Amino acid sequence: MTNRLSIYIGLILIAVLAWDLSRDGVLLVFLGRQLLRLIEWLAIWR
């Protein structure tokens, strides 16, 4: 990954998070719940 590409991806992520926070942060809650489900699923493989 080049530096330019990583900067673009970072800017897109920041823009999406800012947009979501302006609309009650529903996307962050959804992603947080999915991350917790993934962590629990991976804990089975320990």
12-40 pLDDT per residue, tens: 999 999 999 998 889 889 999 999 999 99
**Domain range annotation of the chain:** 3-44
Q: What is the pLDDT of residue 14?
A: 94
Rounding to the nearest 10 degrees, give the CA dihedral for residues 5, 8, 12, 13.
60
DSSP-assigned letters across all residues of 22-37: TTTTHHHHHHHHHHHH
Is the pLDDT at 5 greater than 80? The verdict is yes
* Contact indicator for 33, 41 with CB cutoff of 8 Å: no
Q: What is the pLDDT of residue 25?
A: 86
* Contact indicator for 23, 15 with CB cutoff of 8 Å: no
Is the pLDDT at 46 greater than 80? The verdict is no
Q: What is the pLDDT of residue 35?
A: 94
